[in-house]
Every structure is written in C-alpha cells, then in structure tokens.
A and B are shown apart, each in its own frame.
Chain A
Amino acid sequence: MNSSKKKEGMMKPENGEKKISRRSFIKGLSIAAAAGSAGLVTGGCGSLGNTEEMGLKWEEYFKKNYRLMSQKEKDETVARLVRLAKMKDDRDIQMSNAEPRENVLYGYAFNISRCKGYMDCVEACVQENNLDRKSKTQYIRLFEMDSGQLDPTSGDGKYHHEVPVADKFYMGVQCYHCENAPCIKACPTKATWREPDGIVVVDYDWCIGCRYCLAACPYWGRRFNWGTPEVPEEEINRKQHYLGNRMRMKGVMEKCTFCVQRTRQGKLPACAEACPTGSRVFGNLLDPDSEIRFVLKNKKVFRFKEELGTDPKFWYFMD
C-alpha cells in the first residue's frame, strides 16, 4: 500500500473504486495515527531529521500483503527495502522478487544410509540464509539415531562429538513444505502461504508474530525471532529474496524456503550443494527425468508422520 500523493494520481481508472476507498481509508487512518505512532513505527526517534527514511518506512508500514501486490508494487517494495538497507546500515544488497518458475514443483529427498552427520548442510544454511547467530537459529537439524529407529524424535538432536559413529545413522529434518500445511491454515492474516512451485513462504512484513503457525506445525519447521537477529556485517549474504533470506526483524516468523533466492535462479539449495556425501537430492517433481523422480521411483522411500496427511514434499530413502 502506497500512500504518496503522486502515485495516487497515477492510479489507473480500471483499478476501481474499491482500491481508492481502501487507500483513502488507510490514509485517514495514517493521518490520525501519524502524530502518535510515527516514532514507534519507524523504530524510535533517533534520526527524525531524515525525512526520506521516514517516508520510506511509512510506506513500508502501510503496504499490502505481498501476494496482493501488483508486479509494480512488488518492485517498489523491493526497491524501498534496498534503499532502506543502504540508508540505515550503509549496506549494498541485491533483492530479488523472482516469481516461481513455470512447470516446477520442488521436492526433496534425504538419503539416510549415506548421511554421516557432518553438519556441513547446517553450516551452509546458516550462512546462506542470514540466520541469527546470537540465538544460533538453525532451519536444519540432524538427529543421530540408533538402528531400529525411524522416528527422529527418538534420536539425539544435540550431539557434539566426532562423526560418523559406528552403528548410528543420521536424519536431517527441516520444514517439509507440506502440500496440506497446517501452518498455513492456522495463520490469521495469510502471512504464510504455499507458492505455486511448492515452497511455503512467510511475508515477514505481514506476519503479526502470533506464533499460531508454530504451534500448528507437526515437524517443528518454524522459527520465531524473539529478539532482533544479529549477523556480523561481513558475513551477511547480500544476494537476497523478498520471501527468502532478507534480513528479518524481531517478532516475526521465519523458516526454510528451499533457498528461494537460489532455487528460483535454477541453483540447488545451499544445504544440498554443501553436502559432501550427496545425501541430499533436490529437484523438480514435474520433470520425469529429474534425479528426485528417479529416487522416488526406484528407492525405498518414506515420509515422516505420514498419518497426519500433511503431504510433505520431503522424503527419506535408503540405498
């Protein structure tokens, strides 16, 4: 949502009355709230002098849910965020809003007989996705399991020793990008949804931080930003995506996005690329020649908590 006058004048007539009233409503609201909350919205008084920054933050605050934006509005919000990163932290970032690719549905398979528990995937994920170093947030977790078990909840998710250990095997878990995702159903504001390519994303700017989705996820696939995430400036991954690894703020939900910033460029997710044993298979389920299709067809595959009917796009398999 854009409240600057100039843009309102440019509105196309076919956009109709509804939008105008919505816009003017929000404008009225914003004027009413302006005096009191401007400082709050823009995060403290600090640099009240910088009117451009104030204006950008203001427009960011009143924008729509990403899914309802026109392409132009998406481009504008991305441009604003890039500009704000420059102004606030003197950081040059590239932010993409690449749309899902045609005829692509992502799927992931994990080879439990090959993984040795090295954690390179976890490391790569933390770097790639600008995860909070302070709280040691991780999207991926590896569970060390005794043979005879196939349920990670009975394994050890906090091992600190040299791997591999004889008689143990390893199981990686993360968001499974469920087709019938309880987290999406739960969200009161539609701040989280499943993209046409199967990636379940969060609009960080739209999330109100109620954590209902976290309670609803049967796989513990979501992470909440209890405080403001911290990443050392030199470690920040500057290639970002609006729905992916851009910097999060406090009070919002985040999760694995199959590295949307990479996969929509045709690359592998960071975890799959980093894995030294080739245990992680990622690809397009709609492509009959893809490796993932080969695995699903020829290996012994299973899914975790199948009985819940969430239909995850994530499988485990054995050689």
Chain B
Amino acid sequence: MSVRRDAKEKTMTTNPNQGRSFISDCMRWSLSGGIGFKIYIIALLAVMAVGAFSYTRQFQEGLIITGMSDIVSWGLYISNFTFFVGVAAAAVMLILPAYMLKDKDLHEVVIIGECVAVGALVMCLMFITVDMGGPLKVWHMIPGIGLFNWPSSILTWDMLVLNGYLALNSLVPLYILYCNYHNREPVGWKYKPFVFLSIFWAVSIHMTTAFLYQGLPARPFWNNPLLGPRFLASAFAAGPAVIMVVLIAIKQNTKYSVDEQIFLKLKRIIVVSAVINLLMLFSEVFKEFYTFTHHSLSAQYLFFGLEGHNSLVPWIWTAISLNIIGTLLFAFDPTKGNPRYLMVAAISLFTGIWIEKGFGLIIPGFVPSPMGEVVDYAPTSNEILITLGVLATGALVVTMLIKPALAVLLKYKEAKAKILK
C-alpha cells in the first residue's frame, strides 16, 4: 500500500489550517457553476420562498387551509414523508454492495447515494414539521426535556431512527470526504462500524415507518402484515431510480465520469426490487377483492371508487401503469444502458411508486372512516405550494452536498494518479 503511505506523507507537508479551508473550499465548490446552474439554483430558491410564504399562512391560520379534515386527517405531507423515507432507506442498496461486497464500481458513487439520502431525510423531517398543529411545541418530543412516549408510541421510534439515520448518513461521508480532501485514505475502523450500523438502520427506518401505519387496529387497510416488506421492496426500486436520475444528470453536466457498469448494476437492483414489489401488489389486490369483506372497502374506494367518490381512481391506475411500464422498461432494455432511455424508465418508475406509496397508501387508509363515512380529499393550492417548497429544499440540499463531494473525490483521484505515476 505505497499509495497510502505516500498520501500520508504528503499530508504532513500541508498546512495545518485545513479544517477551515475544507469548509470554505466546500462552500465555494457548492456555489460555483455556470449560468445554467445559477438559473437552477435561483429557481429552487424561488420555489422555496413561495413555499415558505405559504407556510407562514398555514402557521397563522392553522391546518384549516389544507384539504385535510377529521376524516382524512393526513394528506399530501405525510404521503410525501412516507415516500421519501423509502428514498432515504434506498441508499443502502449502494452502501451494501459498495462496502460489504467491496464492489469497486458502486463504491465510486456510494457518496452520491448518501447525499440523496440526506436530502430525503431533510425533506422527511420538514414534512413532519409542516404537518404539525403545534410546530412550536416540538420540544415536547425531545427526550429529557419533553415527555417521550417510548417505547409505546411508534412515532417516537420513528423520530429516533430518522434522526439517527440522518446522523449516520451525514457523518460517515463527511469523514471520508474530509480524509480524501487531505489526500488521506480514511481509516477503516473509524468508519466501517458505522457503515454496518447504517445498513441495519436503513431497513429499520423503513420498517418503523411502515409500522406507524401497520400497527393501527383501527385502519384495516394498513393493518396488513405485508405493509412493511412491501414498503421496502418499493423503496428499493424507487430509491435507486432517483439515484439513477441524479447520476445521469451528473454524467451529462459535470466532468465526473460515471461508469457504464454502475448503471447496469443499478438497473439490476431496480428490476429485482420492482418485480418483487409488483408481486406483492398483486397479492394484496387479490386478498382484497377475491374475498371481499367489510375491510376491503378502502381498497374498493382506491381502485374503483365508493358511493360515487372516486377521486383516487385515476391516480392509482396511473400509478400502477407507470409502475408496470417502468419495470418493463428496465427489465427489457434494448438500448443496453442508454442514459436517455434509462432516464425515462427511472422517472416513470419512481413517479408511479411516488403516487402509489403516497396518495394510494395514506388517503384510502382513512376512507371509509371508522364510522363508515366516505369523503374525498384534495390538497389545496397552499398545501401543494408548501410541498413544492419542501421538495425544492431537498433538491437544493442534495445539490449542495453532491457538488463539493464530487470535487473532493475528483481532486483525490487526480492526486492518487499523480502519486502512482
């Protein structure tokens, strides 16, 4: 390992102020870019500003300006929260092969997966916050100064695992990048244990979120043992699809080269998960409609409408179509990895899963109500603007993290190549 020793020697000669320069360099890298990049950032900031403004309205008037009601008491926010927990968890599909199976190709991009996970988690926490009736009282949930209903409430578990995963997924890449920035190889024992922990943790964030719904006896549509596993399968299809879109964007817009192999491997992961997801979907639909019971009314509402209420019907069929189309596009790829083709496949797959895991899962859980009422839910424009604001924030976070990460990696690669010569 002469590379490593050389790299180490090189660090000795660099100046001691590098902690500070690491931060300032990263900031510089994340903000610099061409005109296209500037427009993109300004557009994101504009959407965020509109979202923030809409939120001040909601803050003052209460959740009354959303489309939610006592019957459908969670809506667009929690739907998106649920989906993005999956995206966050899906980083594990890169982490696992990269670190555990020592896959060289995926190791190249694992950091991007982790950045996407951080962005997704930031969105999750924001979605929960905007959904709260008393956001200023969140300190009631902080263990120690508040009153934490642990272990009884699954929501407290969810808080713990989400924040824990956020910490793991920020600190590990930060450490690795920090080392690379200083032309050092990261020290295995200092971060590997956390990598293993984060693999276990990724599964747990998603299962816990599923248990949030699965554990409610009041809602037969959710009270279904397949919910957790199906969450995972759909997440492991949608998450890598999101990451794939990010990778294609990087490949086309930056100097950073993304190897063909990476796309092929991601494609394989997506196909397997997407097929399992479809199988489970089929199993659920079979259970609901072959033996039609009182408990199947929610599914009836979702797929065919109930008592003339059918606002979800077009959504769920669009979702299922996109889901199937995306899966087929990935499974039978005649272009053998053409980025444009993959982009279409990935977007159709994750849009399908986004609708299905969001709207298609949360809303019908509430309809019919425990007292048999059937009402429709439609988000208000204010709610949609806040949601867009949160999504834009997530995109901004991902961008701001990926840019310096790639710059560091690129620099490190070059330095390594030089030393090898």
Residues of A within 8 A of B (CB): 22, 25-26, 29, 37, 40-41, 44, 61, 64-65, 68, 141, 143, 152-155, 157, 173, 182, 185-191, 206-212, 214-220, 222-228, 250-253, 308, 310
Contact = CB atoms under 8 A, between A and B. Distances in A.
Nearest to B69: A226
A167 to B, nearest CB: 20
B73 A152 contact: no
Contacts, number: 147
A132 to B, nearest CB: 10
B368 interface: yes
A228 B60 CA distance: 10
B64 interface: yes
B137 interface: yes
Given A207-B134, A207-B137, A308-B218, 15 more contacts: A153-B371, A157-B373, A187-B153, A188-B141, A190-B148, A206-B140, A209-B134, A210-B131, A215-B218, A215-B365, A219-B371, A226-B63, A250-B64, A253-B133, A310-B217
Residue from the set A191, A211, A214 with the largest chain B CB neighbour count within 10 Å: A211
A215 B140 contact: no
A222 to B, nearest CB: 8
A210 B155 contact: yes
A168 to B, nearest CB: 16
Interface size class of B (residues with CB under 8 A): 35 or more
B371 A157 contact: yes
Contacts of A37: 136
B133 A189 contact: no
Given A153-B372, A157-B371, A157-B373, A206 B63 contact: no
A212 B153 contact: yes
Interface string B80-95: 0000000000000000
B314 interface: no
Contacts of A206: 137, 140, 147
Interface string B134-164: 1111111100111111001111100100000
B154 A225 contact: no
B366 interface: yes
B415 interface: no
A64 B135 CA distance: 17
B43 interface: no
Residue from the set B64, B70, B218, B365 with the largest chain A CB neighbour count within 10 Å: B218
B141 A223 contact: no
B163 to A, nearest CB: 13
Given A188-B155, A215-B74, A227 B62 contact: yes
A207 B133 contact: yes
A25 B373 CA distance: 47
Given A207-B134, A209-B132, A188 B370 contact: no
Contacts of A214: 70, 73
A68 B147 contact: yes
B79 to A, nearest CB: 13
Interface string B40-80: 00000000000000000000111110101110011000000
A208 B149 contact: no
Contact of A251 (B134, B139, B145, B156): B134
A141 B131 CA distance: 27
B64 A227 contact: yes
A25 B64 contact: no
